[in-house]
Structure 1
Amino acid sequence: MKIYIFLLVVVLSFLGCEKEMMDYEGKDGVYFSVQEAPPSLYGDPEIWAHMDTTLIPFSLLLENDSTVRLKVRVMGDVVNYDRYFTVSVVDSLTTALVNEDYAPLEERYMIAAGERDGFVEFTGFRQAKMLDSTYYVTLQLMENEYFSLPMDVWRPLELKDYTKEIQNVVRHVVGLSDEVFMPKAWTVNYFGSYSKKKVKLLCEMFGLKMADFDNVIEMDMERQRTYAQGLDKYLKEMEAKGQTVYEDEKDKDGNPVKMAVGPLI
C-alpha cells in the first residue's frame, strides 16, 4: 500500500511540474492578432482565421477617410495597470506616403489594465492614384519597457483555427486601394462572372452602392436573385434594340464579350 501511495505522489508531482513548465515565463510580449471575420459573423471569434494583411477597399466605402482597428494581443500575464506598446513603419516595405495616403502613427498604444488586447487605429485616405494600384504600409511592433517580441510567427493548429499558413505576427501590412474587387455578396450562379463594369451597372440601375454588395446579411440570396433578374431583363432589352452590352475585356480570340447573368437566372 505504501508503494502505491508513493507512486501516486510521484505522478501528481510530475503533473504539477509539467503544468508549471507549460506556463509562459519571462518578460511579457505582444503580437498582432488580426483575424478575418466570416461573412456570417457566426462562430467563436477566437478561432477565426488570422491574417497578416488588411485591405482598406475605398470602392466599397462611402467616406474618403477610413479607419481600421488592428488588434494586438499580450503574450503573458494580464495585469491591473495600463501598459503601452509601440509600432513603427518599415519604410523599405511601404509604398504609401504618410500624411498623404495615411495618418501618422501614435507614439504609443495602450493595453488597458485588466485587458489582454489593444488596438492600433490606422487611418487611410482615398487618393485618385488608388484607382489603378494598391499602396501598402508595413507596420512593425517594437520592444519597449513593457513588452518583448517572443513570438514572430503564427503557426496554425490543426482543427483549432482556420488560418491556412504560417504568418508573421510581428509585422502587419495595410493595403490602400480604390480598385473594384469582387465583393462578398456576389453569387456567380445569379450575377454571372464578376466585372467592374457589371457591378457599376447594377449600382446605376437599382440605386445601389458598392458597399451594399459587401453586406451578406442585407444583400441576401433573394435580393441577389431579384437584382440579377432585373439585369437579365435589361440586357435582353438592349440586345433586342441592337445595343448589346459588352464587357470591357475581350475573349482569347480578341472578340468582345457579351455581358450576361448566371446560369440560375
Structure 2
Amino acid sequence: MMKKKLIYVCMLLVIITAACKKEDILTYNDELSKNSIYFPAAETTNNVNISFGYAKINVQDSLLKIVVRSIGSATNMDRPYNLSISDSSTLKVNRDYKLLNEKAVIKAGKVADTLFFKLFRTENIRKDSLFLYLDLKPNENFTNAFLNNDVVSGGRTRKQYVTRLKIKVDDIAGAPPFWVSGSSYGSFTEDYLGAFSTLKFQLLINRFNLNTDEIVKPDWFMTNSNYYRLIGWSNGLKIYLDQMEAKGTPVYEADGVTLMKMGQYAE
C-alpha cells in the first residue's frame, strides 16, 4: 500500500514538473487585439450644444475640446485613429469651423487624445442651428467593438452609440425671464427695452458689460430692485442707437431691414 502511494506521488511530481516547462500563460496583448475607441462625452449624450447667443458681440470665436479615448493600456507607439466628419454636416470647414489638430492620433504612452475645434461666429448661425457630425471608424489600430450602450428612457430601451457625436452650434439667445412677452414682467420690460431680439440683447450685454449668468435667473427682476436698471439701460441704448443713425450707420435687426428700436418710455 505504501509502495503504491510513493508511485502515485512520483507520477504527480513528474506531471507538475512537465507543466512548469511549458510556455508562460498568454496575456492580453493591446496591440494585437486592436482596442476599441470612443468619445467619453457620448456615454451620457450624443449631443454637444454650443451657443454664442448670450456671448458679447466682440466674441467672434470659441474653442471646443472633444476627448477621444481608447479602451485598454497605452502602447509604445503612436496610434492614428479614423475620425470621420459626415458630408451631411451643415457646419462647413474653414467657413464655420476649423479643426486645429494636424493629425488624429493617440500618442505613444497615452490612452486619449483631444480634438480642438475653433468655431467661428458667422452670419450662418444667427437664424438657424448648424450641425457637425463626428464618427469614429475602425482602422488598423482600433476596432469598433465598444459601439453602444443600452439606454432606458420612458420605459423604452435604445442604443446610444459612443463612437458618434452631434455638435450643434447657433447664435440664438432666447429671451431672459424678465423679457418674455406676456410674462409677469414682460410688459414693463418692453415699455423700456422694446420687443426682444437676440441682437438687441447681445448689444445690451456688450454695452453695459452685463453678467448673463445673473440676469437670466428667474428671480433677477425683483432681486435688489433690478427692474430700475432696465430704465437706465433703455435710455443709454436709445442714445447709442440715435447716435448711430445720425452718423449714417443705423443699427438693424437680424433681417438687415428693420431698425432696432427701444420701448415707448425710453428717453
TM-score, length basis structure 1: 0.54
Matched, 1:101 2:96: yes
Q: Tell me what 2:69 maps to.
A: 73
Equivalenced residue count is 188
What is the CA-CA distance between 1:140 and the residue it aligns to? 1.4
Amino acid at match of 1:51: T
SS in 2 for 1:115: coil
SS in 2 for 1:71: strand
Structure 2 residue aligned with 1:167, among 160, 167, 170?
160
Instruction: Measure, in 2, the Cα distance between the counterparts of 1:205 and 1:99.
Output: 27
Structure 1 226/113 Cα, relative in aligned 2: closer, same or farther at 3 Å? farther
Question: Where do 1:1-265 residues align within 5 Å?
Answer: 26-34=33-41, 50-61=44-55, 62-91=58-87, 93-104=88-99, 106=101, 108-156=103-151, 166-181=159-174, 197=197, 200=201, 203=204, 207-209=208-210, 212-213=211-212, 215=213, 224=220, 229-231=225-227, 234=230
What is the CA-CA distance between 1:224 and the residue it aligns to? 3.9
Instruction: Measure, in 1, the Cα distance between the counterparts of 2:117 and 2:206.
Output: 34
Residues 90, 138 of structure 1: 8 Å contact kept:
yes
Gapped runs of 5+ residues in structure 1? 1-19, 36-48, 159-163, 239-265
What is the CA-CA distance between 1:90 and the residue it aligns to? 1.1
Instruction: Measure, in 2, the Cα distance between the counterparts of 1:201 and 1:103.
Output: 25
What is the CA-CA distance between 1:174 and the residue it aligns to? 1.4
Instruction: Measure, in 2, the Cα distance between the counterparts of 1:112 and 1:78.
Output: 9
Gapped runs of 5+ residues in structure 2? 1-26, 187-194, 235-267
Instruction: Measure, in 2, the Cα distance between the counterparts of 1:232 and 1:204.
Output: 16
Instruction: Measure, in 2, the Cα distance between the counterparts of 1:95 and 1:142.
Output: 20
- Deviation per CA, 1:25-48: give whole Å up to 9, x if none: 93211011117xxxxxxxxxxxxx
Instruction: Measure, in 1, the Cα distance between the counterparts of 2:202 and 2:98.
Output: 33
Instruction: Measure, in 1, the Cα distance between the counterparts of 2:229 and 2:162.
Output: 49
Q: Tell me what 1:161 maps to.
A: none
Q: RMSD over aligned Cα, in angstroms?
A: 4.5
Percent of aligned pairs with the same amino acid: 22
Instruction: Measure, in 1, the Cα distance between the counterparts of 2:112 and 2:178.
Output: 36
